[in-house]
Structure 1
Amino acid sequence: MHERVFAREGGGMPVGDATVRLHEAIDLVAGIDVSEVPTADGLGELLEELTRCLRRLDFEFHRLLRSFEARGDHVPLGYRTAKQWCRDRLRMGDAAAATSLKLGRVLIDMPGVSSRWAAGDLGAEHAGAIAKVRTEETREAFGEWEGWLAQQAVDLDMRGLRKVLAKWRLQVDPDSGEPDRIEQDRDAHVSATFQGAVVIDGLLDAIGGAAFKTVFDGIVEELFKADWTEAKTRLGREPLSSELARTPAQRRADALVVMAQRAHVANPSAAARIRPLVVVVSGLDALAGGLAELWNETPLSARQLARILESDPDLERYVYGPGQVPIAYNERHRFFTGKLRRAIQVRDRHCTARGCDRPAEYCDIDHIEAVTAGGRTRPDNGRVACNPDNRARPHRRFHGDPDP
């Protein structure tokens, strides 16, 4: 029987040998006794290294899948398309098969991403996000910036990468019709089922969505605090999330009802207009970039910003000095309040604990150096911290804290 060969630079290896060795390596990992990894750091380092291995393996899967499709190997196997083969032989869903095939096709145009992915420095999620900004309009610039974008994927978390990609897209293609298309395509559907339940579905543009989400998220947070207080009173201790009266999905549904009830009882003529906050960072780098942001970090095109300014918005101005430190605030207060609190919220945007992205408006402003230890209530000693992470100090690590 002819042995298939898996060819790579520097020679080849029979497919059978390669897969056998791969299974043997997985068996070695499966044989790890967690009790023999005594420290959290030890187990954490193991998981980090396993993630790199998984990413490397995932890259090879996409590389081989691209070759499989390009050579038309699905045809002699009885399938009209590679997607059909993936669904049948790999048991992949339609969306997963289409995404994997599409990502495999563009790898040849992303050498920087491919090399970092092959090394395990980034994964399919990062590569897919970068691939989405490669359009007909950005193709030429993408070739020049692709290596830099790959480095951003290595250096940033997914939240930061998506923000960089959105800004890059607007910088390279400022006349992109994407924001206008979304605004033109905005819609909402509210329909009743035969049992009387109501189904809601919709799409809002960035500006309208920010106005809606600001109010909606505030009500969800309000309901969460009520559920937490009720559970704590009922149990006599700090509750687990699973012990709250409502699930997150139920709170979101109830928040829509609360929004409707409050709108019904409000006097429309006296109600204040809801305006999204546009954060314009003033500095040499920002001025050269020329982009503005909504409070939720959504970058705005010049056209979107003009529409906001035409609506007679309420404007707030904060000036930051070196190191993103708000300038000229009173230092004698025990608590971060007023404009000082707002300035730190605008600067940090979300909880600064590592791995947490809870929006700043639902967080505390925490003293980095405690007041009891001589810490001052001033901008450079304040940071946004959500209540659970604030309570978890000193065991919780924040951005800027040294690694152990």
Structure 2
Amino acid sequence: MHLQVALSTLLGLDDRPAELPDLGPVPASRVRELVAAQRGAPWRFAITGPDGRVVRTGALRRRPDLQAVPCTDPAAPGLVDILVDATLLAELIDDPPRTPSPPAHTWSEVLAEIDTPRERPLDDAPRARFPHTGLRRHIELRDRYCTFPGCLAPAHTADLDHTVDHARGGTTTAGGLGPACRHDHGLKQRGWHLDQPEPGRFQWHSPLGRSYRTRSEPLLPPLPTPVRHGPDPELDGEPRSSEAPLLVWRPDPPPPVPCPPTPVELDEPPPF
């Protein structure tokens, strides 16, 4: 099971749903139990920018004490991705969360590990045949899915494909790799061509000359601003008088259905 959850959800700062990349969203109330069950699984973190896209990733070695969180349905070990906005991370470092469970000091240790860069540079071995662990993790979290148009194969199950074949000078860098499932990886041997104008943006060219541009959705998109559909006296701090009439909107009644025309009686019987 691959689970992607915002740190703000685990801290109880919001109820943003988590996501199972190959299945769909998970309610916040349920995801806290699932994360508690995955304490022994590999954990990764991803720091995102204002647009919700990946800035830096890493492996998370420390775990908060989640024993107090009820877990009624333990799941098999999988993979947990903790997502945190860079602005929120800075605020939490300056003012650690005060949560009764798990203890605040355990989150402080986790936040300190996330805030301290420990990974090797992404592009330090451009001529290597295979990417190192940090580069693979960064691309999997950046692109999320297979880069072929319409393919939803999770990136962590796909091949890391060189945009330009390694034998032809392709580089093992963040701008030279992208996830491609085994089927779509083979399309490059059957007439398809692939470009990556900038890291994370891909352009597939079909044998018929058509081009398809793809880019993954943000990993942690900003939450939408709530929209008010009209004034509410109770929410605006103006209590409604008990004597004021309560107006209830009802739709207009449907127009009457016209009656069918009365058949015309013939003066003479038909000649048959």
Return the TM-score normalized by structure 1. 0.27
Considering Cα pairs closer than 8 Å and 6+ residues apart, tell me whether 1 or 2 has the greater RCO: 2
Return the TM-score normalized by structure 2. 0.38
Judging by fraction of residues, say which structure has more strand.
2
Judging by fraction of residues, say which structure has more helix.
1
